[in-house]
């Protein structure tokens, strides 16, 4: 398996790539799609990376990279639901020990879910899975969170709120 690169330079390079990819593009789905691809292909040891957006009582699958995933997750269920409830990143070192874990790809052994915040409210989550146990840490959660902030600031999000019938 590929060696994990957890160096500061590696993360700075990912941030720079994101800024270049976003450029002047404002379409949120376009930018979120490339965001998922950027994380999937640049964060080491990842087998799934993507968005779920809150729509009424569910988390609905958004742009992602990886194998086909569950389309709707009830807002109170799974690691994703826990993230919505906690309104902060949830890091799961061993998904098999997480009560209520929703399996999508059988090769996933650890997971990290980060809230997607817009105008101080959670509108969804960004979910990352890894076949490596204990793959994620707080530092990476903060890093992904800072990238999500860049994504939200450089995209038009209001139309998405209407589309997903988010009660903001
Ligand atoms: N494992 C997640 C479901 C989404 S997939 O991992 C893509 C959960 O328990 O919420």
Q: Is 2 inside a domain boundary? A: no
Protein residue with its CA nearest to atom 6 in ligand 1 = 104
Tell me if 36 CB under 6 Å of ligand 1: no
CA distance 166 to 160: 8
Please state whether 45 falls in left (phi above 0), alpha (psi between -120 and 50) or beta: left
Average pLDDT over residues 111-136: 97
* Ligand 1 within 6 A of CB of 73: yes
Tokens of 119: 């105008």
Indicate whether 1 belongs to any domain: no
In-domain check, residue 14: yes
Q: Which of 103, 108, 130, 136 to mutate to test the pocket of ligand 1 (most atoms within 8 A of CB)?
A: 103
Residue 122 lies in a domain: yes
Is 3's pLDDT higher than 90? no
d(CA 109, CA 101): 11
**Joined tokens for residue 13:** 């390079």
Domain span at residue 47 reads: 8-166
Q: What percent of the chain has pLDDT over 70?
A: 96
pLDDT grade for 1, boundaries at 50, 70 and 90 = low
46: Cβ below 6 Å to ligand 1?
no
Within a domain: residue 145? yes
- Count up the domains in the chain and report the number: 1
Q: In this predicted structure, what is the pLDDT of residue 80?
A: 98
Please tell me if the CB atom of residue 38 comes closer than 6 angstroms to any atom of ligand 1.
no
Q: Is 129 in the pocket of ligand 1 (CB under 6 A)?
A: yes
Task: Give tens-digit pLDDT for 21-56.
Answer: 999 999 999 999 999 999 999 999 999 999 999 998
pLDDT at 166 > cutoff 80:
no
pLDDT at 151 over 70: yes
Residue 140's CATH number = 3.30.450.40
Residue 125 forms part of a structural domain: yes
**Residue 68's CB: how many other CB atoms inside 10 A?**
10
């Amino acid at each position: 398996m590929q060696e994990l690169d957890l160096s500061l330079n590696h993360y700075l390079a990912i941030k720079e790539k994101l800024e270049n990819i976003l450029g002047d593009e404002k379409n949120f789905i376009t930018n979120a799609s490339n965001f998922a691809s950027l994380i999937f292909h640049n964060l080491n040891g990842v087998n799934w990376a993507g968005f779920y957006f809150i729509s009424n009582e569910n988390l609905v699958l958004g742009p992602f990279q990886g194998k086909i995933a569950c389309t709707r997750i009830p807002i109170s269920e799974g690691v994703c639901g826990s993230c919505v409830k906690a309104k902060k990143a949830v890091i799961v070192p061993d998904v098999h020990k997480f009560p209520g874990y929703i399996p999508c790809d059988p090769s996933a052994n650890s997971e990290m879910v980060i809230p997607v915040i817009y105008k101080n409210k959670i509108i969804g989550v960004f979910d990352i899975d890894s076949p490596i146990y204990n793959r994620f840490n707080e530092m990476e959660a903060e890093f992904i969170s800072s990238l999500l902030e860049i994504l939200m600031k450089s995209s038009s999000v209001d139309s998405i709120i209407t589309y997903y019938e988010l009660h903001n």
